[in-house]
């Protein structure tokens, strides 16, 4: 890993790790690299920060530099969930009720999206 920052467990028993100014990598439960999101999806991150994985296995990534939150489904293209209103998104968490929580260090608050 190149500057690991944030980590999240995945429902499959594996985990996801963001790397500073780089990429987001997905690992199996045995610690074997499964994929790189930038390679798998052809997505270029600015500065990936917080990561979380929902119950379907979709990965959400906060990008500090681009001020966005993207969802990376198991199949299909990435989806931009939040593209405005964030100053410096650093952390993300998702609830089983469909809420996305984003820690915005630029505004010293947590923003909730449905």
Tens of pLDDT, residues 8-46: 999 889 999 999 878 999 999 999 999 999 999 999 999
Candidates 3.40.50.620, 2.120.10.30, 2.60.40.10, 3.40.50.2020; correct CATH number of 4-113?
A: 2.120.10.30
Q: pLDDT tens, 44-77? A: 999 999 999 998 899 999 999 999 999 999 889 9
**Residue 44 DSSP symbol:** -
Contact 38, 26 (CB under 8 A): no
Contact 13, 30 (CB under 8 A): no
Q: How far is CA 3 from CA 64, 68, 113, in A?
A: 15, 20, 29
Contact 26, 10 (CB under 8 A): yes
| Neighbouring C-alpha atoms within 13 Å toward the C-beta of 111 | 20
**pLDDT the model gives residue 23:** 96
CB neighbours of 99 closer than 8 A, spacing ≥ 6?
112, 113, 114
- Residue 105 confidence (pLDDT) above 90: yes
**pLDDT the model gives residue 81:** 96
């Amino acid at each position: 890993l190149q500057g690991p920052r944030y980590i999240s467990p995945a429902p499959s028993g594996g985990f996801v790790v963001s790397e500073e100014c780089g990429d987001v990598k997905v690992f199996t439960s045995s610690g074997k690299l499964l994929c790189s999101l930038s390679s798998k999806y052809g997505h270029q991150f600015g500065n990936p920060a917080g990561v979380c994985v929902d119950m379907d296995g979709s990965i959400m990534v906060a990008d500090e530099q681009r001020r966005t939150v993207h969802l990376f489904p198991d199949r299909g293209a990435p989806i931009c969930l939040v593209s405005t209103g964030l100053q410096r998104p650093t952390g993300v968490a998702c609830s089983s009720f469909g809420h996305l929580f984003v820690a915005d260090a630029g505004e010293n608050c947590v923003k909730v999206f449905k």
